[in-house]
Amino acid sequence: MWNKLKWHIQRFMIGRNGRDELELAVFYASFILYILGVWLRFSLLEIIAWMGLLYSLFRILSKNVYKRREENRRFLQKVQFLKLRLSMRKTHKIYCCKGCKRKIRVPRGKGKIEITCPMCGKKMIRRT
């Protein structure tokens, strides 16, 4: 009985996206939002959580596997980028150039230094 059900589910899932990292992230975020919504008695959070759960279900059942894979790949890229930025916070400080608004990364712990913007050449003195 159990094996037959498993077989049916497996057959049903052929050609569908199934679970992936983006789906799992949406699922857990929705779960947390739902608990927060119930706990704070804030129904908007619950509604958002339900939408998140529906989206996660949509991803699992979606037959447009190519598009879902592409979305997941972009999501993983963003996560990787954020992780890299977070790890850089410990060793580097980021300043915004007043001339061109470009972000400049300088190593931490070098005392007061003069920073020259590589884009527009504007100079500023900052503590690192």
The residues of the shown chain that bind Zn ion, judged by CB under 5 A, are 97, 99-100, 102, 117, 119-120, 122
Q: Measured from the CB atom, is 38 or 120 closer to Zn ion?
A: 120
Q: Measured from the CB atom, is 41 or 103 closer to Zn ion?
A: 103
Least separation, in Å, of the C-beta of 55 and Zn ion? Answer: 40
Query: CA-to-CA distance for 62 and 49, rounded, in angstroms?
Result: 20
Query: CA-to-CA distance for 23 and 39, rounded, in angstroms?
Result: 24
Q: Measured from the CB atom, is 16 or 122 closer to Zn ion?
A: 122
Query: CA-to-CA distance for 94 and 82, rounded, in angstroms?
Result: 14
Least separation, in Å, of the C-beta of 106 and Zn ion? Answer: 13
Least separation, in Å, of the C-beta of 113 and Zn ion? Answer: 16
Alpha-carbon dihedral sign for residues 55, 56, 60, 66:
positive
